[in-house]
Amino acid sequence: MRERIVRAGGLVVVVAYAATIAWVYARQPQTMAQVSGGLAAGLGAYHIDEASFVDGLRFFRRDQFMEARAAFDRADPAQRDAATQFYISYTYYREGWGHLYDDRRLFARGLEAVDRAIALAPKGRLVVDDPDLQMHSADELKAELQRGVQRDLSPLRVFRSRK
């Protein structure tokens, strides 16, 4: 009887270890925060740091985008919250936007963040209800970022407005 328990316990450990390796291979987390956050999210126990998120919103509304990204990164170190990733993407859009040209490097980073937000959102649909924003859905933001990455030589570009 004792031998069966030891074998069953060993089988459970091996299966759990194999599942962890498969998860790490599939998700490819870059930091330990992403690993622990991903496991916590899988269990439904992941929460962002609300104080850091509020700090990020405060910086965002004052057009301090680098500071806002730092606060949002602190709020969501595992990159598992769709709304936080949406705001990170929006900071890249706002910082990279220009009348004469867009910073394609910042827009590309914004695309990465909005893709994460869409992947994390239920059914891939994310809408943020913030009256201070002109774009409320991740789809709108992604389309603007994609336009910014493409070259636009139109002289009418000068008259467009930032969203």
Phi, psi of 127 (to 5 degrees): -130, 125
* pLDDT score at 105: 92
Strands (E), the chain: none
The maximal CA–CA distance of the chain, rounded, in angstroms, is 82
* Amino acid (1-letter code) at residue 43: L
d(CA 140, CA 110): 13
* pLDDT score at 76: 92
Name the nearest CA neighbour of 143 among 100, 89, 65: 89
* pLDDT score at 161: 65
Could you say which residues of the chain have pLDDT below 70?
A: 22-45, 99-101, 151-163
* pLDDT score at 93: 92
* pLDDT score at 68: 96
Token pair 């924003």 is at which residue?
133
The domain limits of the chain are 1-30, 32-159
* pLDDT score at 96: 87
Token pair 């598992």 is at which residue?
80
Q: Specify the DSSP class assigned to residue 137.
A: B
How many CB atoms neighbour CB 117 within 10 A? Answer: 26
* pLDDT score at 44: 56
Q: Specify the DSSP class assigned to residue 67.
A: H
* pLDDT score at 34: 56
* pLDDT score at 119: 93
Homologous superfamily in CATH for domain 32-159: Tetratricopeptide repeat domain (1.25.40.10)
Angle (CA) 114-112-27 rounded to 5° is 100
